[in-house]
Amino acid sequence: MTNRRTLPCSLALTLLVVTSAWGQASLHQDTRTEQTQVEQSRQRTAKAWGLDQQEYRRYEAIMAGPRGIWSPNLDPLTALGLEARSEAERQKYAEQLVKTERQRVEAELAFQRAYDAAWQRLYPDDMPINAFSTKGGVDATQSIFGGNPETPLQRLNVVVALEDCARCDATVTRLLRSGTAMDIWIVDSGGDDRRIRQWAATLGIAPERVRAGDITLNHGGTLDVDPVELPRVAPRG
């Protein structure tokens, strides 16, 4: 009788041990799978920037330190170049960045040409309005606000607002009369192409100049500009 009562208990204990072991094995497998996925993602990202695993891990370490606070979202090549340990290393990452930027710009220009051609086919009578997309970010902001706005015969970036900015209208009108080529960024358009077209028509911006690319009209809502500083005019970088 004692053996009969002991058997179910022993079986239950055995099942408990097996279940626990299975659960631990499953947890370990999930952890290994997650680690593998993270490592594969790191390898793909490193390869995209032309880096090996050691270089990419150093980039991660750099961004985990003060540089990540000073310059968040910094790309790997710039971060490694800024924190280079030798002149040769600095030169290496500078050259890699130049090559990468050249490829990026060539791709964006090719797509912009295709976009412009498509616009001409589909909407030949409308003024094209550019979204603030690949031109955005820190680099675009620096090119817009850098340099000397008095430099003659140079294409200008002009940042304006549609509402409550008589100075903006006056500045654009003066530049139109002088025949200046410019990229106009409207900070309060709200992504509404119609508002920009109405404003452009009111100021007498010729659709022909816009279609020819002599003047571009751009949504600039992501620009961090104090309205009291408008308009802002600077040579295009």
220 falls within a domain: yes
For residues 180 and 150, the answer to whether their CB atoms sit within 8 Å is: no
In a domain, 180, yes or no: yes
pLDDT for 112 = 73
Classify residue 46: in a domain, yes or no: no
Q: Residue 116's pLDDT is what?
A: 75
Within a domain: residue 173? Answer: yes
Amino acid 133: pLDDT: 43
The long-range contacts involving 202-207, CB below 8 angstroms and separated by at least 24 positions, are: 203/169, 203/172, 203/173, 203/176, 204/173, 204/176, 205/127, 205/172, 205/176, 207/125, 207/126, 207/127
Q: Is residue 55 part of a domain?
A: no
Percent share of the chain, pLDDT over 90: 36
Beta carbons within 10 angstroms of residue 146's beta carbon: 12
- For 19, list phi and psi in degrees, rounded to 5: -60, -45
The residue that leads in pLDDT, 236 or 76, is 76
Is 120 part of any domain?
no
pLDDT in tens, 10-60: 655 565 555 666 666 666 666 677 777 777 888 899 999 999 999 999 999
pLDDT (0 to 100) of residue 149? 41
DSSP 228: G
Q: Count how many domains the chain has.
A: 1
Q: Other C-beta atoms within 10 Å of 144: how many?
A: 24
pLDDT at position 147, please? 40
Q: Which tens digits make up the pLDDT trace of 157-192?
A: 899 999 989 999 999 999 999 899 999 999 998 888
Residues forming beta bridges with residue 235, ordered by sequence position: 156
Helical (H) or strand (E) element with 120: helix 87-122
- Domain span at residue 173? 127-235
- Residue 37 has φ and ψ, to the nearest 5°, of -65, -40
CA gap 129, 189 in Å, rounded:
11
Burial 102-139 (b: 16+ CB within 10 A, else e): eeeeeeeeeeeeeeeeeeeeeeeeebbbbebeebbeee
Using DSSP's 3-state secondary structure scheme, residue 160 falls into: strand
**Residue 201 included in any domain:** yes
Which residues, listed in sequence order, are joined to residue 185 by a DSSP beta bridge?
A: 159, 218
Residue 199's pLDDT band, with cuts at 50, 70 and 90, is very high
Could you tell me the end-to-end alpha-carbon distance of the chain, in angstroms, rounded to an integer? 94
pLDDT at 132 over 50: no
Q: Is residue 43 one of the residues assigned to a domain? A: no
